[in-house]
Structure 1
Amino acid sequence: MSKKKKIDLYEIRKKLVYDFMCEDVYVPMKIKELMIILGVSKEDRPQLDKILEELIDEGKIVISKRGKYSKAVENRLEGTFVGNPRGFGFVELDDDTMDDIFIPSNCINGAIHNDRVEVVVTQTPKGKRKEGKIEKIIQRGNKQIVCTYEQSQNFGFAVPDSVKFNSDIFIPKGKSKNAKSGDKIVVEITKYAQGNKHSEGKVVEVLGGKDDVGTDILSIIRTNDLPEEFPVRVTNQAERVGKEVSSADMAGRMDIRDWMMVTIDGEDAKDLDDAVSLTKEGDNYKLGVHIADVTNYVQEGSALDREAIKRGTSVYLVDRVIPMLPRALSNGICSLNQGENRLALSCIMTIDEKGKVIDYKIAETVIKVDRRMSYTQVKKILEDKDEELIEEYKDFVPMFEEMAKLAGILRKRRMKRGSIDFDFPETKVILDELGKPVEIKPYDRNVATKLIEDFMLIANETVATAYFWQETPFLYRTHETPDPEKIDKLATFINNFGYTIHLKKDQIHPKEIQKLLNNIQGSDEEALISRLTLRSMQQARYTTECTGHFGLATTYYCHFTSPIRRYPDLQIHRIIKESLRGKLNDTRKKHYQDILPQIAKSSSDLERRAAESERETVKLKKVEYMKDKINQEFDGVISGVTQWGIFVELANTVEGLVRIADLVDDFYIYDEDKYEFYGESTGKTYKLGQKVKIKVKKADVSMRALDFEMVE
């Protein structure tokens, strides 16, 4: 290359930085446009690429997911800091369309896990996560932290349970509340860390010894700030309103107490908020989904309502339920108990033989459930043909059989349009009276559970459709189209196994995901590809805009069927009842327009908190269950491969890690593209979906981690 050409490229760099990067001149451009404007030939393209990479690393320009270059504007973003035990962290941005920002350890600026922070992007490396520095801590996320206490001679240290808090907390003398070494404690931070100094705190609660019964779950409850006890005012109000249904309560309602209807739930369920009925009218089905009218007892703005908003959802931990509403309501007057008059909001649908809803009625009703059925009983009647149960429930068996037929029709119609069914085995943990896990097994998803699922889905869809077209303020359950970049990565990965998915203009139709899941059924890689596919999906959330539900392949969807345990359902029941009564005037519509966005956001956040808490307790009990199985051998399937080791899942859904350092029969090389390890000398491979035999090596309950080793 000539000397003049080198000078030109230097000038090009200056031009990019000082001329074309001016906000009022420069617009995002693809590489070909830049080459034309800058006068760069194809032969000089590599040098331009190098300049662009340097400018990206320096944080002067950025490249979008679609390959467009633009000036990097130092905008201050807000989000939540997520700590890492190795000192660095990430900021999850409020704008959930943007990726997390990596924060190096020297740029954390005193932030700790869960703090709300202001962050500035410092680097945007091509093809990698953005890097940033924390400029300001807006709000501390954790005033109190669950820790294990360690006593020294004149003071103590609190070691946080969560590894995301990567620093101990100094406890001065007299601030320990007589905690002993090894106790689980709740610490209130009184002075946050600065420079090399630890944070200081005081013990506000001693939960008990780390091995005491119930301390483990209580620690998770405190860590996630789950509210256990209801305020006295709330419980008193629940007791006052939770009386028997009166004639005044029933006045003006559609009385359908003479309809044959049942509840179908798990054996141990106590909050029965949905009942179903079914009759045939010629070739059409008349399906009734009857939901407890919780709003009759929980008035807007009441103490009960304010507490329900704060909780957002009931939380189903492995050993207990933390309800959204006091049990006087959730297990009492709002529970659709057999043989008792109950107030309901009913969605009564006429469905043709192809599964299409051709008519519907949404009404305030009075109902009386004839039988409280369990999933197991209905499954035994429909699948196992249990003669004893068939005789016991002979009056209901014809209805159950028609229900099974209709559920099959609805499911077939849903699948035809592209609805995705991730049929992962959920975990059921059986505990003894002391809270010790005695059995772990996959949760049985059978004909009865699917039947209720199908009926609730069609009711939710019908209600959402009705109120969308009424153009009233509403809360929808939204599941957005997957991020094209994640789908691209998924497509590249599944190519290794001989599978493909088709994209159209960077978009994917849910039917493509459904086809993929059908194609991998029964294969060794089924569980793995299913999980990776699920991870490529967006997270469902509550919104005031009806933008559709990708996973269900439907334009209109909401949560209507569980007002006892989900606040959004309770909220839309109010809107529906006001609409039915002709009271949804402009003033009330304006009221709902004002409050629903915040309810949608807080409900989505609280739902995530509940799900994380539930997962943590299950994970804890899984490790505890395996603790007395050290050196025992099990068959498993490789469920994940990372550069530091191999994850293996057992038949009971327990998962553990085989560390790469423990594979001593060869030197194993990690192939990132194929998600596999192969031995340098032997050529032996370990890849996703492969069946293996493992031995339990270590069970660390405090870290909730299991170590396995391969058995040759």
Structure 2
Amino acid sequence: MSEGELTVDNRGCYFKGDSRLKTGIFMGTSKGFGFVRIEGLSDDIFIPESMTKGAFDKDQVQEGEIINILSRNTKEVVGTYQKNKSFGFVIPDNQKFGDDIFIEEKNSQGAVSGHKVIVELTSFGSSKKNPEGKVIEIIGHINDPGVDIMSIILANGIPTEFPPEVMNQIKGIGNDPSPSDFSGRKDLRDVYMVTIDGEDAKDLDDAVSLSMEGDIYKLGVHIADVSHYVTENSYLDKEAINRGTSVYLVDRVIPMLPHKLSNGICSLNAGTDRLALSCIMDIDKKGNVIGHEIAETVINVNHRMTYTLVKNILEEKSVQAMPKDEAETAKYSESVPMFVLMEELAQILREKRKKRGSIDFDLPESKIKLNEEGFPESIQPYERNVATKIIEDFMLIANETVAEDFFWQEPPFVYRTHETPDPEKIQKLGIFINNFGYTIHFNQDEIHPMEISKLLAKVESKPEEALISRLTLRSMKQARYTDTCEGHFDFALQNTTVILHHLSGVILIYRFIG
């Protein structure tokens, strides 16, 4: 379109160029209609089914009634093949895709009904014609063990192998750090510390230490220093950015970093020297952090503990809760006083957060147990016990401390921000819970997190607890990362202190500014 050219819309109205057109990403639904998400706009734009113009989920489009599909972001589709006499169809796993894909017999690669396949789209179809494609890979039959998981992996484009450049880079990394790596680091190898994780954890990211100096708790949270090995702009760094995160599936973990790092030199395995980033805090009896140090360190974890072991010890307050084995009893005997101290400090920190109105959504999580063939045999709840709460409390106080430290230093930094909920959503929540006899107090502009906290306390152990807790959570705004300090509603934090989602985030920020 040349400068000054006029465009006419469906109503016969003229406007200059494409000044009225907005570009965004189309998000389809299984019912045909969709929404366009436009950067800079707080609300998505509804697109009725009659106006989608054949757009697929994640296509780049121009909104309103969709005027143009600017680019197709879906080139391959994973689905289930259904064979007819002389042709076939693939039913996409992604229900947002909308249409079945027509496959000519010659393009089926011999697939039979029930095969999970990857289809390359050759035609995107139209309002009157299905999209067409050709089978480029047969994953396996829908009833074969593991095929469902592999289908999910392929449908989401999750890479399962690392590029040769990355594997070549890690060849130069040893199995343990060398003495030269310790230069300039604070040596904490004499500090007694443990890791506490689930029984099936393979990579141990964080360790904790705790001692008393007079009336002051000296808490250390120590995170594996991945940034020492994943150097900026290296192949490892670029691949980690591309992956973004490790992916946890019911039967496997697809790591962000190669196993030599994630399960090896970057895992805080007991009895081995490891490089870490440590946040060491002096905390008084009221839960106030009265002093802290953030340092690059070298550590040596004394024991690898599990949530179950620590829970059992604290319930008995002795090693009698451990397996009746003399070696095991002797192994953990010196840890018991520290675990008792941890429970005491965690309770202090929890009470302090509760007083300021911090919200604790104690929603149950589930774990799927598979049999030897990979089929699910039971769904079990994750237990949230005294040990898991200790780690949660220690990670939170470490995150607050690190975030506040960098806020006052004023370097470039990324904060985890959770804004005040929309008044309209809170008003709807108030109307709903009133049917159960509950109320929340708020004005037209905002609600204090204490009100949400009180509501959750009132519904605790009641039949309606799960329903109201989930609706309350859905009334909150979604947390996001920002480069300005805007506070965290759920944890009732204002101004100077904000929360990073997990202390491992500190590793990325530490590398970014240092």
Distance 1:504 1:238 in 2: 57
TM-score under structure 1 length normalisation: 0.67
Pairing partner for 1:172 from 104, 113, 118: 104
Counterpart position of 1:360 = 292
Deviates more, 1:252-261 or 1:476-485: 476-485
Distance 2:92 2:367 in 1: 29
Distance 1:269 1:349 in 2: 27
Distance 2:171 2:270 in 1: 21
- Whether the 8 Å contact between 1:242 and 1:297 is mirrored in structure 2 is no
Distance 2:205 2:23 in 1: 39
- Whether the 8 Å contact between 1:82 and 1:113 is mirrored in structure 2 is yes
1:80 aligns with 2:17: no
- Whether the 8 Å contact between 1:242 and 1:332 is mirrored in structure 2 is no
Pairing partner for 2:350 from 404, 411, 429: 411
Counterpart position of 1:112 = 56
1:114-193 equivalences under 5 Å are: 114-120=58-64, 133-193=65-125
Counterpart position of 2:511 = 574
Change (3 A) 1:466 1:562: closer
- Whether the 8 Å contact between 2:369 and 2:376 is mirrored in structure 1 is yes
- Whether the 8 Å contact between 1:274 and 1:561 is mirrored in structure 2 is no
Structure number with greater Rg is: 1
Pairing partner for 1:491 from 430, 433, 448: 430
Counterpart position of 1:387 = 320
- Whether the 8 Å contact between 1:477 and 1:541 is mirrored in structure 2 is yes
Change (3 A) 1:219 1:521: same
1:253-264 equivalences under 5 Å are: 253-264=185-196
- Whether the 8 Å contact between 1:476 and 1:542 is mirrored in structure 2 is yes
Counterpart position of 1:525 = 464
Stretches of structure 2 that go unaligned for 5 or more consecutive residues are 1-10, 14-18, 323-328
Counterpart position of 1:244 = 176
SS, match of residue 511 in structure 2: helix
Q: Which amino acid aligns with 2:419?
A: E
Deviation for aligned residue 1:384: 4.2
Change (3 A) 1:403 1:531: same
TM-score under structure 2 length normalisation: 0.91
Deviation for aligned residue 1:182: 1.4
Counterpart position of 2:136 = 204
SS, match of residue 338 in structure 2: helix
Q: Which amino acid aligns with 2:262?
A: S
- Whether the 8 Å contact between 1:476 and 1:557 is mirrored in structure 2 is yes
Pairing partner for 2:474 from 509, 514, 535: 535
Distance 1:201 1:242 in 2: 47
Counterpart position of 1:269 = 201
Deviation for aligned residue 1:494: 0.9
SS, match of residue 291 in structure 2: strand
Distance 2:452 2:38 in 1: 28
- Whether the 8 Å contact between 1:475 and 1:558 is mirrored in structure 2 is no
Stretches of structure 1 that go unaligned for 5 or more consecutive residues are 1-57, 61-73, 121-132, 579-712
Deviation string, structure 1 residues 660-708 (Cα, Å, up to 9, x no partner): xxxxxxxxxxxxxxxxxxxxxxxxxxxxxxxxxxxxxxxxxxxxxxxxx
Distance 1:167 1:574 in 2: 46
SS, match of residue 135 in structure 1: coil
1:533-682 equivalences under 5 Å are: 533-555=472-494, 556-559=497-500, 561=502, 563=504, 568-575=505-512, 578=514
Deviation for aligned residue 1:276: 0.5
Deviation for aligned residue 1:220: 1.3
- Whether the 8 Å contact between 1:261 and 1:275 is mirrored in structure 2 is yes
Counterpart position of 1:475 = 414
SS, match of residue 240 in structure 1: coil
Deviation for aligned residue 1:562: 5.1
Runs of 4+ in 1 over 6 A off after TM superposition: none
- Whether the 8 Å contact between 2:488 and 2:499 is mirrored in structure 1 is no
Distance 1:570 1:191 in 2: 45
SS, match of residue 396 in structure 1: helix
Q: Determine what percentage of the aligned residue pairs are the same residue.
A: 58
Deviation for aligned residue 1:90: 2.5
1:280 aligns with 2:212: yes
Distance 1:562 1:211 in 2: 41
Change (3 A) 1:272 1:184: same
Deviation for aligned residue 1:168: 1.1
Deviation for aligned residue 1:177: 2.4
Pairing partner for 1:461 from 386, 389, 400: 400
Deviation string, structure 1 residues 476-513 (Cα, Å, up to 9, x no partner): 11111112211111111111111111113421111111
Deviation string, structure 1 residues 192-236 (Cα, Å, up to 9, x no partner): 112312112121221100111101111111222222211122123
- Whether the 8 Å contact between 1:146 and 1:223 is mirrored in structure 2 is yes
Counterpart position of 1:584 = none
Deviation for aligned residue 1:144: 1.2
Distance 2:29 2:282 in 1: 54
Q: Which amino acid aligns with 1:94?
A: E
Distance 2:146 2:503 in 1: 29
Distance 1:355 1:573 in 2: 26
Deviation for aligned residue 1:347: 0.4
Distance 2:474 2:461 in 1: 20
Deviation string, structure 1 residues 122-157 (Cα, Å, up to 9, x no partner): xxxxxxxxxxx2122233232111111122333322
Counterpart position of 1:295 = 227
Deviation string, structure 1 residues 18-52 (Cα, Å, up to 9, x no partner): xxxxxxxxxxxxxxxxxxxxxxxxxxxxxxxxxxx
Distance 1:78 1:443 in 2: 43
Pairing partner for 1:94 from 34, 39, 42: 39
Distance 2:490 2:294 in 1: 25
1:444 aligns with 2:383: yes
SS, match of residue 194 in structure 1: coil
- Whether the 8 Å contact between 1:260 and 1:369 is mirrored in structure 2 is yes
Q: Which amino acid aligns with 1:387?
A: Q
